[in-house]
Amino acid sequence: MKNPERCVRAPNVSCGDCSLNSLCLPIALEAEEIERLDGIVERGKPLHKGDFVYTQDQAFASIFAVRSGSFKSYSMSDDGTELVTGFYFPGDVLGMDGIGRNRHASSAMALETSSICEIPFDNLGQLSLQIPSLQQHCFQLISHEIVEDRQLLALISKSNAEERIATFLMSISNRKARHRLSPTRFRLAMNRADMGNYLGLTVETVSRVLSKLQKSGVLSVDHKEIHINELEQLRAMSALDGQFLEGARA
């Protein structure tokens, strides 16, 4: 087994020591199994804002676990229209859109300085055959992606603008809490246009709703910094009681 290359953002941290391993890895993995997984993980240099992890139609070879920062995924239609398909934060796994046809269905781009762990899929598949809990975890991640896509369609088709934005913010809050970070103070690295694109709203509508939430005291908004003052009130406003997209992406 090769010696794992340490993360450049945290040179002494491997899979076994990473604070996010309970999110990326099956809880039941033994120390020896984590060491074997760590042996196939590739950690490169930090990505900067605008850098791509992969691009649409690129050959699929790996999945990626977000270690720090944030990313957006988007696809381009034949007429050149961009469709934002997801946002990813620490502990999330991206790139699974390429499993079905061996090519990525979207592009993934860093929204700020970020770092990832690259996991070659062929190596992961071979290791999964030897570690059943790892294989099951991979299936769960894929299933979660399918469920989220359906929930997004339901949200856009049935909810009004205020419900969509409240649910979006609650999904991020839920994940921050699960990651043991503040559920009421966080930074939205994406711009208003990307948020609106993802939620099926115009930039003007996104800004109007955020201003309304701020005036009502539910939120405090300072550029991209969000402070949720009334968490339960925001939860009550959300379309799915804050459960939408809790997990793999916001």
Asked whether the predicted pLDDT for residue 8 surpasses 70, the reply is no
Mean pLDDT over 112-137 rounds to 78
Asked whether the predicted pLDDT for residue 165 surpasses 80, the reply is yes
| 24 backbone dihedrals φ, ψ, rounded to 5° | -85, -30
Mean pLDDT over 78-100 rounds to 88
Nearest-5° angle of CA 60, CA 9, CA 37?
50
The residue ranking higher by pLDDT, 195 or 239, is: 195
pLDDT over 70 for what percent of the chain? 69
Query: What kind and span of H or E run contains 153?
Result: helix 132-158
Mean pLDDT over 164-188 rounds to 86
Query: What is the rounded distance in angstroms from the CA atom of residue 52 to the CA atom of residue 111?
Result: 10
Token pair 């009502």 is found at: 216
Q: How far apart are the first and last CA of the chain?
A: 36
Query: What kind and span of H or E run contains 194?
Result: helix 192-199
